[in-house]
Amino acid sequence: MTGAGRRLRFGLSLTPDASRPLLRIAQDADRYGLDLLGVGDQPYRRGTADAPALMATVLAATSRIRVLPAVACLPLRPPAALAKAVATMDRTSGGRVLLGLGAGGHWDGIESYGGARLSATAARRALEEAVQVIRLHWSDQQGLRFQGEHYRFAAGQSGPAPGNQIPIWLGVTGPHGLALAGRVADGWIAPSSLVPPKRLADGRRRLDEAAAAAGRDPAEIRRVYVLEGAIDGRGARGFLHGPPRQWVYELTELAVGHGVDAFLYAGDPDQLGPFALEIVPAVREKVAQERTATAAPAHP
């Protein structure tokens, strides 16, 4: 199901702060029926757990939730090695893995951890090459070779191939990054702090235009919105800062008015219960009502 009728997905964006009970939080998200768990990947930050290791642990300790790096720090994750790790997790979890990729942004931290500092243009080109390398690694081709500006890859054979087609979602915000996502990605991840609602329409337009120019159906690209806010019963204090009823209204507008079809809650994990058990079902119900009303034929 695609486009306006696509089933909404909801999940948690988890900061891998090693001082918190990360596995229990992930198991709560699974138990509450959430669809997705996005794991932050900033290995240069002190006190953070390794994202791929945490993903593998979560997949072994849960039964249904799908897990992805949101987003993998590409300058510190060689794409061929990342492809092998993600394919391995896909095969051992029964197909519960997705891949979120980012070009990198916190260059001081990346450089301090041994990564190369890149310009915005070079980082974007490296991201495009990484998508090519990863998909090549997941293919059934023999005698693999890739010679790019940033990555070189040669192997007698691919693999291990994932058991399922793994979607690649790109965390990009600028016009050139959106054009790249429209050309090659299966999804677009947008954080609310960098892409507020007033910027979503422009981002959606750029994504759709790039997809159409590449001969793709724009409706096939997931629109994933990271909800950087706070659930607070004291009253509305701005976008995504207020009581559950405000969240229900705003997420419904994001889905119906802006085409967002997946949400990752990035607020306090202690408020995961209200998000998953109160806000999510209410949004699903209101969006279904809005879609039905829009699709209903007008009476003469």
Q: 223-235 pLDDT, tens per residue?
A: 999 999 999 978 8
Decide if 116 is inside a domain: yes
Decide if 259 is inside a domain: yes
- What's the mean pLDDT in 195-211? 97
Decide if 246 is inside a domain: yes
Q: What is the mean pLDDT of the chain?
A: 93
pLDDT at 246 over 70: yes
Whose tokens are 């991840």? That residue is 189
Binned at pLDDT 50, 70 and 90, residue 262 comes out as very high
Contact, 222 vs 216, CB < 8 A?
no
Decide if 159 is inside a domain: yes
- What's the mean pLDDT in 80-106? 95
Task: Select the more confidently predicted residue: 156 or 242.
Answer: 242
Residue 140 domain boundaries: 3-295
Range scoring the smallest mean pLDDT among 109-118, 125-134, 229-238: 229-238
Decide if 212 is inside a domain: yes
Angle at 36 between CA 31 and CA 42, to 5 degrees: 115
pLDDT at 247 over 50: yes
pLDDT at 2 over 60: no
CATH code where residue 191 lies: 3.20.20.30
DSSP H helices in the chain:
22-31, 51-61, 79-93, 107-112, 120-137, 175-184, 197-213, 244-258, 272-274, 280-295
How many separate domains does the chain show? 1
Decide if 300 is inside a domain: no
Angle at 246 between CA 242 and CA 252, to 5 degrees: 140
Q: Nearest Cα to 220, choosing from 265, 192, 251, 261? A: 261
Given this model, what pLDDT does residue 85 score? 96
Contact, 88 vs 160, CB < 8 A?
yes
Contact, 76 vs 114, CB < 8 A?
yes
- What's the mean pLDDT in 21-50? 97
pLDDT at 298 over 60: no
Binned at pLDDT 50, 70 and 90, residue 300 comes out as very low
Q: How far apart are CA 152 and CA 100, in angstroms?
A: 21
Contact, 150 vs 129, CB < 8 A?
yes
pLDDT at 5 over 90: no
In whole angstroms, how far apart are CA 131 and each of 105, 151, 189?
Answer: 18, 11, 15
Given this model, what pLDDT does residue 110 score? 96
Range scoring the smallest mean pLDDT among 47-61, 152-166, 200-214, 218-232: 152-166
Q: Nearest Cα to 80, choosing from 153, 178, 188? A: 153
Binned at pLDDT 50, 70 and 90, residue 105 comes out as confident
Decide if 32 is inside a domain: yes
Instruction: Express each pLDDT in 145-164 by its tens digit.
Output: 888 999 988 876 667 889 88
Given this model, what pLDDT does residue 296 score? 59
